[in-house]
Structure 1
Amino acid sequence: MAKGSNLYFFYKKDEELEQKLKPLFNLAEENGFNIVEDHQEANIIVSVGGDGMFLQAVRKTGFRQDCLYTGITRSGEEAGLYCDFNLDQFDEMVHSMMYEELEVRRFPIIEADVNGDSSFYCLNEMSMRSTIIKTIVLDVYIDDIHFETFQGDGLIVATPTGSTGYNKSTKGAVVDPKLPCFQVSELASLNNNRYRTLGSSFILSGDRKLSLKLVQDGNDYPIIGMDNEALPIRNIHNLDIRLSDKVIKTIKLKDNSYWERVKRTFL
């Protein structure tokens, strides 16, 4: 990584963390990096605080295509699936960035079109769930062909990297992020003579379009989760979901592959 790169740090502001970051800012500047206050000026966006903060950093900075993202976990936290570095070893990160002991990996993201007029991006997953104590009913289409009618608590649509999160907790598969695809998993489906679903997760090629159409049966205000945020739209009728042409480029240590991270996290 060339000297003179602009670094923007994304983190939850608190006095203790600010004090811990000051020497790291100084270390970066001593090694020829510039700390900037505006993320739009950054070549590298650094989140501090684990995978949840990394997701927030990507979302709040607009899923930028012209910069690199990397994550640092705080002291005492386990390394995450998106975070290669720890706050206690920031000097190792600076050394790696200076001497190019890094690789760039590209994580796929999904794009959700809401009601045909608003698009949103997700790095981890999108979920559509009931907000009341009542099941939600969704017509599921693949490439505009009706596939099933779902009744239950909701559906999760996960990227390959997001397959280790909410999706995994519902017994979905863990997917290699080198596969351009997305996965659909059920939340407590009810199968009976009227409604019948596949009953298992299924994986769609990146060339497919998934459409979810809300059946108006009195539960007409579902909640839409985009990564770790709720979508501020109440009146949702349908979602069209695709794998986006965009990717998130992240800094990767050469000896820290995705499957090494999965093993470290779960095994």
Structure 2
Amino acid sequence: MRVSVFYNSGKKSQQVATKLIKKLVDCAFEIDDKNPDIVISIGGDGTLLSAFHKFSTQLNQVRFVGVHTGHLGFYTDWRDYEIDDLVESLKHDTGQQISYPLLDVGVQYVGERDQKHYLALNESTLKRVSATMVTDVYIRDELFESFRGDGLCVSTPTGSTAYNKSIGGAVLHPRLEAIQLTEIASLNNRVFRTLGSPVVIAPDEWIDIKPDQTAQDYIMTIDQFMPRQKPIERIRYRIADQRIAFARYRHMHFWNRVEDAFIGEKQGS
């Protein structure tokens, strides 16, 4: 089995990575950062997002494992002190995995013939910081609303607990085949109206965002990354054909993970 160990610049993550690589080599695993079968991310959810984007063109052959060295993450099943147990699980790997949907972001830039495609694990946003963003929102090629506000966020089910939740979006179970559109500080008054609540899109539907062409100071993000900003004619969001696979040797119930991350210990009555 070929394994890549991907870690952040934190001292603890580097120490754990050094320890893990030594144990993997001792157990005859091949360390391969170009064509791995397993990518082990050490750090937190942000580190795993970076690992995902590094290997996004190899999703048909790569499974991911997350080791967290800080707070509990939604993509990290193992703690830094469980390295021995992780290596033992890898030794008995039978290909077990669980996969989740991704977001396909198709951007039509002004003056360019072909669309540029990006993959997002969590979400993609379009914002305008210096003034109100004005854009038409289409669902399955039909005009849904004309949006005015700070921006829009389209998230995956696994990304629903990230930025989406902080702006009032719903938490979706990661097994759902859906994407979610959430408004960022929409402008609602007697003149301008939007739905004002998150919208969950079915698997056979798509969302088009067509920003006002008189302004081009838009900022688009793909997860924590910001592609080079160019004038945007249209962005199409849909569920991607590709999926992300996690090598799942043990499983924490999703709602237990949500409770632990956002609610904490239950208080007795």
TM-score by length of 2: 0.89
For 1:174, the aligned partner's letter is: V
Kept after mapping to 1: 8 A contact 2:160/2:170: yes
Q: Secondary structure at the match of 1:171?
A: coil
Could you list the structure 1 runs, at least 4 aligned residues long, displaced by more than 6 angstroms after superposition: none
| CA distance in structure 1 between the partners assigned to 2:14 and 2:100 by the alignment | 30
Structure 1 residue 35: Cα displacement: 1.3
> Is 172-181 or 58-67 further displaced after alignment?
58-67
Which of the residues 92, 96, 103 maps onto 2:89? 96
Structure 1 gaps, min length 5: none
Residue number in structure 1 paired with 2:266? none
| CA distance in structure 1 between the partners assigned to 2:80 and 2:25 by the alignment | 16
Structure 1 residue 180: Cα displacement: 0.4
For 1:151, the aligned partner's letter is: R
Distance 1:137 1:45, change over 3 A: same
Residue number in structure 1 paired with 2:228? 232
The root-mean-square deviation of aligned C-alpha atoms, in Å, is: 1.8
Structure 1 residue 44: Cα displacement: 0.4
Residue number in structure 2 paired with 1:66? 61
Structure 1 residue 11: Cα displacement: 1.8
Structure 1 residue 103: Cα displacement: 4.2
Residue number in structure 2 paired with 1:248? 244
Structure 1 residue 91: Cα displacement: 0.8
Residue number in structure 2 paired with 1:112? 105
| CA distance in structure 2 between the partners assigned to 1:264 and 1:192 by the alignment | 38
| CA distance in structure 1 between the partners assigned to 2:127 and 2:235 by the alignment | 13
Kept after mapping to 1: 8 A contact 2:37/2:62: yes
Aligned pairs (5 A) from 1:18-167: 18-36=14-32, 38-39=33-34, 41-63=35-57, 64-74=59-69, 77-100=70-93, 103-115=96-108, 117-132=115-130, 134-167=131-164
1:166-195, CA deviations, whole angstroms, 9 ceiling, x for partnerless residues?
110111110011110000000000013442
Structure 1 residue 97: Cα displacement: 2.1
Distance 1:16 1:52, change over 3 A: closer
Q: Secondary structure at the match of 2:105?
A: strand
Kept after mapping to 2: 8 A contact 1:8/1:46: yes
State percent identity of aligned pairs. Answer: 32
> Is 16-25 or 145-154 further displaced after alignment?
16-25
Counting matched residue pairs gives 257
